[in-house]
Amino acid sequence: MQSASSSSRDVKPRDRRESPDNAGTRVALVLDAGGARSAYQVGALEVLLPALAESGTRPCVLIGTSAGALLSGVLAATAHLEAGEQVARLRDVLDQATKRHVMRPLWRQVPEVLARYTSETLGLSFFRLRGLFGTQPLARTLAQSIDWEALHRNVEEGVVDVAAVTATSVRTGRVVVFTESASPIPRAAPEYHGRFVATRLQVSHLMASAAIPALFPSVRVDEPAEAAGWYVDGATRRREPLAPALELGADRIMVVGTGALRPPDQDLDLDGVAVDLGDGGATLLGAVMDDPLRHDLRRLAEVNAMTQDAELAPSLRRHREGRGQSAYRTVPYVAVAPEDGEELARAAMEVFRANHGSLLRTLGDPDMQIMHRLLGSDSPLQGELLSYLLFDPDFFDAASEFGRRDAQRWVEDHPDLWRTEGLPEPAS
């Protein structure tokens, strides 16, 4: 396995100069959750990061959640490189994130899962079942593929102002933003359901952020001591994905999601179709992955409109100051996420049928077929679930191509990259 640090001395460092128009601009890159769908984000970044570099700036605040946290770690470790080389390293890491480098084979876990489940049933708390899939391979992959010393050095030298990942405390449900920065970190605003914790990022922080509840084991974080405890996926309780970037003083936000940018069309006839476990899981994932980002982008556009209203802005500023809060400000944004929420699901089903549907393929690697059956193989939403768990190179290729296409479309529609108003309505 190639380390992200390999041959880094042979690569030309990033030119840190900024154009006069963008001097001092604090750009945040927010990467949302998505599991195997993170390949979509990699494809989008292959377009967006070079476009941002051409405009004379770069993301200096990196915030990731779940799979987005893993990508943020790679970007923080390679932030000293040119944008083209940085996305190439990102792609290298994605190519390593196949199933055997992410989770243990199910057949090897059955005895342990049964033993832990029996222990829970008998009330023996010292041998708890914390997840169905062992993720020890993912921990090894992160340790080897991310140049952790380069990450810390980039933060210390100011190449990256902030590298942060979000995780959810199992016991309290509070969102914790583990934040590495050379500068003091802010106290979260009272309305933000979370807190920033200064730390030196480690594998455990990224693993905690990506621990999908029930599927992946919860992760024990020991550092820093003030936030020690058990954590799961940062997407499970985060209500405002863009809030940490704003709290950290971002002047502009670039966000890449993996859920649908717009809600699906309503087909009321589907409400009468029988459902199973897979449908329930897909509905839950949609609520966690899609809705918060859509809501936050809409709210950001509404605040931008108010700050640009000459009559409303002064009274809004006085109202905020009277409550001891900082004034709202206009924050331009880039938002790339799938327009068609079912496109990735269809691609996942096609790859599954091609690579895991035959008897021969099932005998060689039964895990995906077993998971497919357990979650309800006839579910119309089965592809939605598989798209989060299908760590398959062919699915990565399809998803990343979608990301490149959507990011290129954004760049073509926004020559200066940025937007302040709400997203346009889809064409009828």
C-alpha separations of 333 from 14, 23, 298, 329 in Å: 23, 17, 11, 13
Q: Assess contact for 69 and 235: CB atoms under 8 A.
A: no
**Backbone torsion region of residue 56, taken as left when φ is above 0, otherwise alpha when ψ lies between -120 and 50, otherwise beta:** left
Phi (first) and psi of residue 251, to 5 degrees: -85, -30
Q: Which of 166-180, 230-244, 401-415 bottoms out in mean pLDDT, i.e. has the lowest? A: 230-244
pLDDT reported for residue 18: 43
Report the distance separating Cα 383 and Cα 347, nearest Å: 8
Q: Assess contact for 195 and 177: CB atoms under 8 A.
A: yes
The alpha carbon dihedral of 380, 381, 387, 390 has a sign of negative
Q: For residue 163, is pLDDT > 80?
A: yes
| 176: its two tokens | 């914790």
Mean pLDDT over 340-365 rounds to 78
Active-site residue, from 233, 251, 392, 406: 233
Return the axis-axis angle of helices 38-54 and 67-77, rounded to nearest 10°: 40
Q: Assess contact for 298 and 422: CB atoms under 8 A.
A: yes
Report the distance separating Cα 16 and Cα 82, nearest Å: 9
3-class DSSP state of 178: strand
pLDDT tens readout for residues 116-141: 555 555 555 555 545 567 788 899 99
Mean pLDDT over 369-380 rounds to 60
Q: Which of 287-291, 296-300, 371-375 bottoms out in mean pLDDT, i.e. has the lowest? A: 371-375
pLDDT reported for residue 14: 44
Helix, strand, coil % in the chain, rounded to nearest 5: 50, 10, 40
Q: For residue 6, is pLDDT > 50?
A: no
pLDDT reported for residue 102: 83
Mean pLDDT over 147-176 rounds to 95
Report the distance separating Cα 320 and Cα 326, nearest Å: 6
The alpha carbon dihedral of 38, 343, 211, 236 has a sign of positive
pLDDT reported for residue 129: 47
Active-site residue, from 66, 169, 218, 387: 66
pTM of the model: 0.85
pLDDT reported for residue 400: 97
- Examine the residue annotation and report whether 66 is marked as an active-site residue of this protein: yes
Q: For residue 212, is pLDDT > 50?
A: yes
pLDDT reported for residue 426: 64
